[in-house]
Homo-oligomer: A and B are copies of this chain.
Amino acid sequence: MTRTADDPIRVGVLGARGRMGDEVCRAVDCAPDMVLVAKVDDGDKIGEVVDAHAEVVVDFTHPDVVMANLEFCLANGVRCVVGTSGFDTARIDQVRQWLGDEPELGVLIAPNFALGAVLTMRFAQLAARYYPTVEIIELHHNRKADAPSGTAAHTARMIAAARKDAGLGEIPDATTSAADGARGASMDDVRVHSVRLSGLVAHQEVLFGGDGETLTIRHDSLDRCSFMPGVLLGVRKMVQRNGLVVGLENLLDD
């Protein structure tokens, strides 16, 4: 079945009754260029997405079932946009193997679909080479169990890699006497500070400092719906792109 640019994209949602899946269903319903053809959750048959001729599925399920979902979809010619967590190198290699050497289908696996979070990472990566010093502050509600956030840790690593590529050495720091914890956690030599307060949702600041100036990139995510534009962008891109893409940032600017 060849698609034309005017055809709405046929989308199925796996994990459709979960918090995120439910938002995805509503977002797809509202998108003028998409049609929601299948909603699948625990107890439903995944085969519904094939029967409904879904072109792309969006998977917000669980680490325990996502691999089986992916294997089934790829075997049945359905493209995948995946927000489920837990993808390590082994899992990513497995998906790449399923896709084969000359992939005719596309899979996107992304840990964070908020455009602002993705743009923050991208900009931080671009700015890193120009500044001798950089630190990250991430701020979340005080019900969060882990610190720092996965996104902050990922951002720190991207910055560290960009500094290394640019030949920058260690970040200069004159601290000789510090109370335990005052200078934050060191992630690949980038300091990350985690603030926890009631009233906050999910926020991140990357602060760069140079001679006589600072540059700050801040992302405030106030609602789960902030992930939806990123999910819809993923669907639009992957309907016509083959192979594996890890990270939404790789689909920007195409």
Contact = CB atoms under 8 A, between A and B. Distances in A.
A14 to B, nearest CB: 22
A212 B223 contact: yes
Interface string A102-145: 00000000000011100110110011001111110101001111
A148 B182 contact: yes
A159 to B, nearest CB: 13
B198 A209 contact: yes
A184 B177 contact: no
Nearest to A221: B213
Interface residues of A, number: 76
B196 A173 contact: yes
Given A147-B183, A181-B183, A213 B116 contact: yes
Nearest to A27: B211
Interface string A37-75: 000000000000000000000000000000000000000
Given A119-B127, A173-B142, A229-B130, A137 B193 contact: yes
A207 to B, nearest CB: 6
Contact of A182 (B123, B193, B198): B193
Given A137-B195, A147-B183, A218 B220 contact: no
Given A195-B191, A197-B207, A216 B217 contact: yes
A215 interface: yes
Interface of A: 114-116, 119-120, 122-123, 126-127, 130-135, 137, 139, 142-148, 153, 172-187, 191-201, 207-226, 228-229, 252-253
